[in-house]
C-alpha cells in the first residue's frame, strides 16, 4: 500500500505575497469603471492598515459582504477581463522566498496549494501561473454566466479553511500530520492546527504569541510593517509621517491609473 504523502498549504495575503490581493482587484475594477475613486482610496488605506496590524474577523466579514453585493448581476466575462490587470499587480508582490519555499516542497514530493478567502477563480488561476498544484478560495455562485452575489460553498476563512483542507486531504489521500501550513494571521489558526508543521509568516501579534509558545517556525519578509512599527515606537509623529507618505504616494499612483500619458505639451 502506498504511503500517504503530506502537502503544503499557503495563505495568500501577506504570506505568499506582500499586502493584500484585493487591492489589485479593486484597482483593476476602478480602471474598468466598476468601482468609484472613493472606494479605491479607502481600499488603499485598508491595505496599509492590514500590512501593519493585520485583519480582524469583522473586517473580513465586511469585505465578503461588500464583494458579494458588488458582484450581483455582473457577467462572469466582465470580471474575468480584469484578470490581466489583477495579475500585473499581484505577481510582482509575490515574495521570492516564499516561491522558493513552495517549490522546495514540490521537489520533495509534497503538492502545494494556495488557501485564501479571495475568490476560487483567483486562487485557481494564480496557482496555475505559479505552477502550484491547486488553489482553494471562496466560491461565488454563477447562474447563466452572471454572478448572483451568493456563495456556492463556505466562506474560505477561519474554520472554513480547515474544513476545506480536510476535505482536500480526504479526496487526495494526503497525510495532514506530514503537511505544512503557512499564514500571517491568528484567524488561520484552525488551518494551522490541522497540519503537523505550521509556519508563521509575517505574523500578527496574536499569531506570533502562539508561534513562540508552541515553538513554531517564524518567517519574516514584510519590511513596511516593521518600519512603521519601529517609527511608532520612536514617536507617533514619525509613524504618521511614514504611513502618510506611503499612502499619499499610492493614492497619486492609483488616481492616475488608467489615464493616458501626455508629453510636456499635453499631447497624448
Q: Write down the pLDDT at residue 67.
A: 56
Q: Write down the pLDDT at residue 112.
A: 98
Closest alpha carbon to 48 in 263, 183, 239 = 239
Q: By the 8 A CB rule, do 14 and 183 touch?
A: no
| 101, part of any domain | yes
| 41, part of any domain | yes
Catalytic site residue 263? no
Q: Write down the pLDDT at residue 146.
A: 82
Q: Write down the pLDDT at residue 157.
A: 87
Question: How many structural domains compose the chain?
Answer: 1
Query: What gap in Å lies between CA 164 and CA 188, rounded to an integer?
Result: 12
Q: Write down the pLDDT at residue 24.
A: 84
DSSP state of 260: P
Catalytic site residue 13? yes
| 251, part of any domain | no
Query: What gap in Å lies between CA 203 and CA 209, rounded to an integer?
Result: 9
Q: Write down the pLDDT at residue 43.
A: 52
| 248, part of any domain | no
| 183, part of any domain | yes
| 213, part of any domain | yes
| 263, part of any domain | no
**Longest CA span, the chain:** 74
User: Cell triple for residue 164?
Assistant: 476545506
Backbone phi, then psi, for 6, in 5-degree steps?
-85, 175
Output the domain CATH number for residue 21. Answer: 3.40.50.1000
Buried b / exposed e along 186-200 (16+ C-beta atoms within 10 A): bbbbbbbebbebbbb
**Mean pLDDT, consecutive 10-residue segments, the chain of 268 residues?**
80 91 79 62 50 51 56 74 88 95 97 92 93 93 81 83 96 97 95 97 94 96 55 40 41 44 34
Q: Write down the pLDDT at residue 97.
A: 94
Query: What gap in Å lies between CA 219 and CA 193, rounded to an integer?
Result: 17
Q: Write down the pLDDT at residue 164.
A: 95
Give me the domain span that covers residue 118. Answer: 8-221
Rounded to whole angstroms, what are the CA distances from 263 to 6, 229, 268?
Answer: 56, 40, 7
| 85, part of any domain | yes
Catalytic residue among 11, 43, 204, 222: 11
Q: Write down the pLDDT at residue 37.
A: 56
Amino acid at each position: 500500500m502506498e504511503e500517504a504523502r503530506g502537502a503544503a498549504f499557503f495563505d495568500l495575503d501577506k504570506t505568499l505575497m506582500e499586502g493584500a490581493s484585493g487591492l489589485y482587484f479593486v484597482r483593476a475594477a476602478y480602471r474598468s469603471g466598476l468601482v468609484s475613486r472613493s472606494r479605491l482610496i479607502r481600499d488603499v488605506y485598508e491595505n496599509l492598515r492590514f500590512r501593519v496590524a493585520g485583519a480582524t474577523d469583522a473586517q473580513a466579514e465586511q469585505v465578503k459582504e461588500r464583494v458579494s453585493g458588488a458582484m450581483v448581476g455582473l457577467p462572469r466575462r466582465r470580471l474575468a477581463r480584469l484578470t490581466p490587470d489583477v495579475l500585473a499587480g499581484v505577481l510582482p508582490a509575490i515574495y521570492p522566498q516564499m516561491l522558493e519555499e513552495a517549490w522546495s516542497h514540490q521537489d520533495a514530493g509534497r503538492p502545494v496549494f494556495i488557501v485564501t478567502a479571495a475568490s476560487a477563480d483567483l486562487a485557481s488561476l494564480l496557482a496555475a501561473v505559479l505552477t502550484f498544484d491547486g488553489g482553494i478560495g471562496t466560491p461565488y455562485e454563477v447562474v447563466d454566466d452572471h454572478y448572483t452575489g451568493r456563495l456556492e460553498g463556505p466562506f474560505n476563512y477561519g474554520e472554513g479553511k480547515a474544513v476545506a483542507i480536510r476535505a482536500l486531504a480526504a479526496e487526495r489521500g494526503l497525510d495532514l500530520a506530514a503537511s505544512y501550513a503557512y499564514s500571517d494571521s491568528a484567524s488561520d489558526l484552525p488551518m494551522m492546527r490541522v497540519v503537523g508543521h505550521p509556519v508563521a509568516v509575517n505574523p500578527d501579534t496574536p499569531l506570533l504569541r502562539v508561534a513562540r509558545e508552541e515553538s513554531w517556525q517564524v518567517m519574516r519578509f514584510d519590511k513596511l510593517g516593521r518600519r512603521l512599527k519601529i517609527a511608532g515606537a520612536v514617536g507617533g509623529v514619525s509613524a504618521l509621517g511614514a504611513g502618510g507618505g506611503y499612502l499619499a504616494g499610492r493614492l497619486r499612483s492609483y488616481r492616475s491609473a488608467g489615464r493616458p500619458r501626455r508629453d510636456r505639451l499635453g499631447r497624448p
